[in-house]
Structure 1
Amino acid sequence: MKRIIGLSICLVLFFSYVLKPIITVAQVSVSAQAASLMNADTGEFLFTKNADEVLPIASLTKIMTAIVAIESGDLNAQVPISNEAANQPPSSLPLQAGDSLTLEDLLYGLILESGNDAAWAIAEYIGGNVDNFVKLMNQKAQSLGLVNTKFSNPSGLSEPSPNYSTARELAQLMRYAMQNDVFRRIASAKTYETTSKLGIPYRFDHKNRLVQQVDYVKAGKTGFTRASGRTLISYAEANNIPLIAVTLNAPDDWVDQLNMFKYGYSRYGIDVPTPEIRSGDSDK
């Protein structure tokens, strides 16, 4: 009898901890048209909203641009800057035609500052021309099983045609990308400084304000065009549990993702803060 009573007490204590009240999916409030929250270890989706709706993704494109470049190129190679690359619309680093930077330098400018000029220079260097590079991007998407993801350019600009994906497939892409040590290092950097071959100094600052201001958010990418609205991917780690949040066309994306992380970690009995994010310009 004493053993039964003791076991009963242990079970009560166990379930009172494991089954503590948590936020339900219905209580996760997001402004995003589409969203997803994934456990990056298991691939399980903890929260979705219109996660399979195909939408323009803006500069989240540059995650694929970076992965194709990292897997195909020499990080130490000098990449020449063409007139076409230097004249890409903002956001830009800005690069100067006739100059060159290493591929690694350009990757930092691509991810942290979201340089469209960096995307173009990388595409010309790796693919020989931009069209060939875009083919490599789409081939990579197919190899990863991203059937609703389609690229028409390496930057994410809406002209001549937007790039498309879904909140679900972007989480899957980010999960793959973060398994690459080079991408992880670049996407996790808060700032990076370098000097071009012509002696021009550059400082790149991460435009994802969650990475800059929230301790448990470790990496990410931002984006914006008129066609896509605000787009955002963030990668978080708390108690060694990695989560990936994706929001598409989200007017209040910083708050959306903090709420999503709050919910996701609550499922593991982890309480993470949701600090107020200081204002600043959106990425493009």
Structure 2
Amino acid sequence: MSRKLPTTDGGDELLARLGSLTAQARERAEFQRSQVELAIALQRGMLPDELPSAPGFDVAVQYAPACHGLNVGGDWYDAFTLPDGRIGLSIGDVQGHNIEAAAFMGQVRVVLRALASVAGDPGELLERTNDLILSIGSDLFATCTFMRLDPATGMLEGARAGHIPCVWASADGKSGVIEDDGGPPLGIEPGTRYPVTRHRLTTGGVIVLLTDGVVEGPSMPVDEGLDQVVRLAGVAAVAGLSAGSLASAAIKGAERVGHEDDAAVLVVRHGPPTLRLR
């Protein structure tokens, strides 16, 4: 027969203390979850709902939030039609993973849109954006790639600010990384110049803009991840995959390596796809 042990005053105090610590831990967990949900909602609300259409081109995007924790709030993508009929394409990543980063991301994206129609080329656009970011005195910085696509010729001109390079592929299966010098991230150094690189997107070819969450994870270094996307783009171009199918495949590859950051992919294909994957 069991006997009920008497509860001492010290035991009551210990139980009360444990209860208080448990309640505090629960409150902290609830607060962190609410912060994550708010950052995700803020970020998604600042990203475009629709992508522009250009005759003869297929444009698609895929985005996946961070797998866990507060690693959310910094990645963005954008695509819009400029007054002269060209298409502006941008993708980037803000330093930090919180509500402040999500809000700063929205500011940078809006600035790029506002200046894209008046800047002479993508290099000048990044230069002016960099100067504006520095003028507001923010402690944050952002990496970014901006490209302008001329649908009439398939010509792409772009500039890169400390961001992951873009991947290209042609209809014959050749693929690689667009080599350029680039420049430092936006918001780091005043008076920075960003070199412009030009690349012609031929019929059946694709261009892939992406963030580092797609190519980097605990089990995969950046170079290896980029090689994976290069191979994927080459296969997709030969098979005639749609831009959406290629973007989805790239995101799934990021999920398999356990990406810990946001992941965004923006794909442009020259010519209508011959195959779409579900």
The question of a shared fold, defined as TM-score above 0.5 by the shorter chain, is answered with no
Per the normalisation by structure 1, the TM-score is 0.25
Work out which structure has the larger RCO, using CA pairs closer than 8 Å and 6 or more positions apart in sequence. Answer: 1
| Larger Cα-atom Rg | 2
Per the normalisation by structure 2, the TM-score is 0.26
